[in-house]
Structure 1
Amino acid sequence: MKIHYDLSNIKTYINRQSHFELNDFVSQFEKNLKRIKKFKEIDSKTKILEVGTGTGWFPILCRKYGIDCEGLEICPQFVEYAKQFGRKHGIEPNIKLGNIEEVDIGKSTYDIIITLSTFEHVERWQKGLMNIYDALKPSGLLYFYSTNKFCLWSGECHIPFYGWLPDRWRYRLRTFSQGEDIMKLGIDFNQFTYPQLQRFFKHIGFSEVMDVFDVIGTDDLIYPTFWKKMLLHVMKQLVILKPLALFLLPGTLFVCKK
């Protein structure tokens, strides 16, 4: 993927995001950190990389709370916005411009790499994930969230069964509604499935690959009623029901240990 400047769809997205304050992202930030801490301790010596920073709230909040986090972002408009967003709150985020498919992010450099709603947009996603694997220290952790092809509603486009459509149809739909710039950055090249990602994570060498049911607990539930807790417990225990649930969930969530 090439680095493109001054894309109209990114400008529109930033305008829609500009009313958010840093505090609006704290609950999401804390939720992600809480999940990661189930598998790996985070302290002042922990070195984190976020791939695909977007508006920059994650590395900005990391710096605010004394966590060492770098960011990598392919979009110059996002890098500039994130720096302005951080400065607005007295924070200078460490975000670099680069493409995860090609940029050198080092070998055995990071304790944790996080990527949220990014890899659906990475054309050569296998290459990007191999670079991430190489950049993790031994026993390092990848926290990964992306699309789930067969969910009923996709965050990429608000029409039912969007992810089920052939690539060509999705591309035509998005360019018709959002313009040609969407194909330069923002299009979902990938609609993943849990089995597809699980196989690839194991293929490149991760020793432990944990899916959403291994990661979330009852404390992740919104309004955790008795029945919701019971349903989550059943989904985790019954081998027959788990694949069906993974098939329909709105996203793919993994924690992978090197």
Structure 2
Amino acid sequence: MKGERLDKVLARLGLGSRKEVARLVRSGQVQVGGRVVQDPAFPVPPGARLEVNGQSLALRRHHHILLHKPAGYITSRTEGPSVYTLLEGFPTRDLSPVGRLDKDTEGLLLFTTHGELLHRLTHPRHKVEKRYLVHLERPATWEDQKAFRQGLLLDGKQLLPAELTWQEDPTWVELVLREGRFHQVKRMFQARGNRVLYLKRLSLGPLTLGDLPKGQARYLLPEEEEVLYRAVGLFTGT
């Protein structure tokens, strides 16, 4: 069979280095012409349909990967243990995290190669909602809720209004932010004389973890990409 090596084709499409895409192929995530191929040297016939995790490469100009981050990992390439070690098999070379989660924080962490999407998701001007589950040392109060809603003062600057809610147990609360400052959740509660014992990001804009297991990652579905792009005012597929 004539054709270019699969790993060379994937590397040229921007999925990573030859070594990275070889791991991707061996992991069984790549299909050529509708069937799984695990040989990086497989010759790709001209015009063959290529898919990664069921998504056509021809339609993907950017990569968006959702990770259910466990505690104990650092959102950094240079420090460890790094969240990037949880993305083995994905094209990580040009991926950037959308914001950061502390080492002891769990939950939704999005990676993207789309610079403008990254900017719009993280810049306070776009007010993208981030929802967190928080376990507190002491019960939250109605005064905390009012202070957050009005915009808490932190480092002499007023934060955007935040929504603090709880059900029966006010030591387990949900907090919705529309910006992402350094250690913001922990510092907000610290400013109110409380301490965060556990923190998990539940959602980012329209994205949720769904049933994604902790420590696992996946590509966004096409419909998730579309909703996310529209949420920040980008045209679908840009």
- TM > 0.5 fold call: no
Judging by fraction of residues, say which structure has more strand: 2
Judging by fraction of residues, say which structure has more helix: 1
Larger radius of gyration: 2
TM-score grouping bracket, smaller chain normalisation:
under 0.3
TM-score normalised over the length of structure 1: 0.19
TM-score normalised over the length of structure 2: 0.21
